[in-house]
A and B are shown apart, each in its own frame.
Chain A
Amino acid sequence: MAIILLILPVFIQDPYIMNIVILSLLFAVLACSWNVICGYTGIFTLSHQAFFGIGAYVSALSSMRLGLSPWLGLLIGGASACLTGFVIGLPCLRLRLGPYIAITTLAFSEIARIVCMNLVGLTRGEMGLWGIPGFTDISPWGGHVISFSGGDRTAYYYVILVIFFASLGLIGWMLRSFIGLAFRAVRDEQDAALSLGIDTTWFKLLAFITSSFFAGVAGSFYAHYILILTPTSVFSIELMIEVIAVTLIGGLGTFWGPVIGAFSLTVLLEYLREFGEYRFMIYGAMLVATIMFMPSGLSSKLFPEKE
């Protein structure tokens, strides 16, 4: 499958389809990051849109106001989201019940959204932050310049592809290691984990930090790809619900689930454009249907577990 992704642009030149694939990959990264904290560590959070949004805005503003390169913005966006993840994670550490964590993380996200909306001098609020510089041209092989301007999406595609592979690679490595085991211990039986000497507090924080980092990187890419941001487009609950839907439908707690979900849903949503205003009604209904009839998601249907 990796090979298919690598050579895809050779066959597809249509910018519309390219856009769909790029967005799918972006959502895959975002969903994978949420999967780390919800699927693997068992902490159902509603704050990923905040990480995404902060990554986006910080990266955008640092390149617009501070003149930093968007490439650096990816890291800065990720780092600032990471810091936010730490701050949001702290109060959540002592909370055991799902609803409390959900409300706390939602509260933080709403604060982030309203702050972004109100600090008009900094972010231009609801009027929108446009004129974000796209990725600057790079010339890795001396003389051959990879340009990001113009209508050709190919360059962007490869950037998100690299981000996709890197993120999944890092997350996958982390989940296969002892860290992943600890996460799952926290999810399945926290008290047992504690009794075995696993510092659940530390690992919960780690889950917050890592998942928020990747969400921030995703947000930063989004900023330099779409080139315009508004608080509602990146900080809203709708975005969070999309992440939940993608991860759930693909398979919560599985590695490839979010990826499958991201591609399926992005394509489906585009296809549903034909239905116009019924789009989101179908979306909501699908969410309900999935949790009722197929809670383990698509990936369990496509790759039946050996157990």
Chain B
Amino acid sequence: MNLKLIAEQMLNGIVLGSMYALVASGLTLIWGTMKMLNFAHGELYMMGGYVLYFSLILLGLHPFWGILIAMIIAFVFGLLMEKMILRPLLDKPGWHVSPIVATLGISIFLQNFALKAWGERFKSVPYFIEGTMDLFGFRVAYQRVLILVVAAIVMVGFWLYVKRSRFGIALRATAQDRDAATLLGINSHRVYLLTFGISSALAALAATMLAPIFLVNPWMGIPPQLKAFIVVVLGGLGSFGGAILGGFLLGCIESLATVFLSSEWKDVAAFAVLIAFLIFKPSGFFGTKEW
């Protein structure tokens, strides 16, 4: 059990953690504004992966365009989902359960659609940048550094956007009090619509960045979604900053568990931490009092 091994794993964990944070931020955004859990989030992630695959392999595009197209298509898909399925459920009774059921149904539909349309074989996507570099004495693949850089840019950019822009203010207002926001002239439906779209785009981005490492397949969204659930609870449902912190924390927990236990048990460790948080600190790091 040498220190170098642990440090290497931790670095890996931080890279993965940044992606968990990305996926989780979309989830926490939806929860914060709409007070619902999106169980189809993993499938939106999956679609991002497939669109990237088709863009790169079938259309031969440069990864930059592939990622952009994946994000746009996921964005549109998120819009459609919100408009067609979730909006009708919004004001009906049972809102604490109905979106979970609806998104579960969508999730099954999409997983099996992908299975039927594109087969069960795992599809590989080439690394965007080949080669490795030396980072503080460790050999790190450029791809992983790229992941961290993209994650940092997106998260900082998004945080600024939510803090400063008009839409960001509208978003936070609707999240705090939908009726009050509506009274002030904010179209809450539009806010929800765009929130869903943005959340889906973020998930797709994470998928595209991880696709070269983890391969594209119909079920690729299931683990990230579960991990995103853990992250949003750790960070506090509804808190963007919490999702980021929680994402990195989970990445580190996973890598430490891999070193000290084994990779088979790392998920159990993650879930155990989740349950511990729920018992002792259900509001997470920055969450609200409601739990």
Contact = CB atoms under 8 A, between A and B. Distances in A.
B93 to A, nearest CB: 9
Contacts of B113: 281
B261 to A, nearest CB: 10
A50 to B, nearest CB: 12
A261 to B, nearest CB: 13
A220 to B, nearest CB: 25
Interface stretch (A76-84, A102-110, A130-138, A263-271): A102-110
A97 B291 contact: yes
Given A94-B282, A284-B106, A107 B275 contact: yes
A295 interface: yes
B265 A288 contact: no
Contacts, number: 121
Contact of A292 (B102, B111, B272): B102
A291 interface: yes
Nearest to A296: B94
B6 interface: no
Interface stretch (B142-150, B172-180, B196-204, B225-233): B225-233
B61 interface: no
Judged by DSSP, the binding face of B is helix
Nearest to A91: B279
Contacts of B98: 291, 295
A110 B267 contact: yes
Contacts of A98: 96-97, 100
A103 B265 CA distance: 19
A41 B102 CA distance: 21
A241 interface: yes
Interface string A155-193: 000000000000000000000000000000000000000
Interface in A248-307: 248, 277-281, 283-288, 291-292, 295
Contacts of B282: 94-95, 100
Contacts of A238: 108
Give the size category of B's interface with A: 35 or more
B205 to A, nearest CB: 23
B89 A292 contact: yes
Interface in B183-226: 226
Contacts of A248: 101
A244 B101 contact: yes
A149 interface: no
A117 B265 CA distance: 10
Contacts of B37: 99, 102-103
B196 to A, nearest CB: 16
List 3 tightest A-B contacts by C-beta distance, closest first: A287-B105, A284-B109, A284-B108
30 contacts: A44-B96, A96-B290, A96-B291, A98-B100, A99-B96, A99-B237, A100-B233, A102-B37, A103-B229, A103-B278, A106-B229, A107-B230, A108-B275, A110-B226, A114-B265, A114-B268, A115-B268, A118-B264, A118-B265, A118-B268, A277-B116, A278-B112, A284-B106, A287-B101, A287-B104, A287-B108, A288-B109, A291-B101, A292-B85, A295-B94
Given A91-B275, A104-B275, A292-B85, 7 more contacts: A97-B96, A97-B290, A100-B233, A114-B264, A114-B267, A287-B101, A288-B106
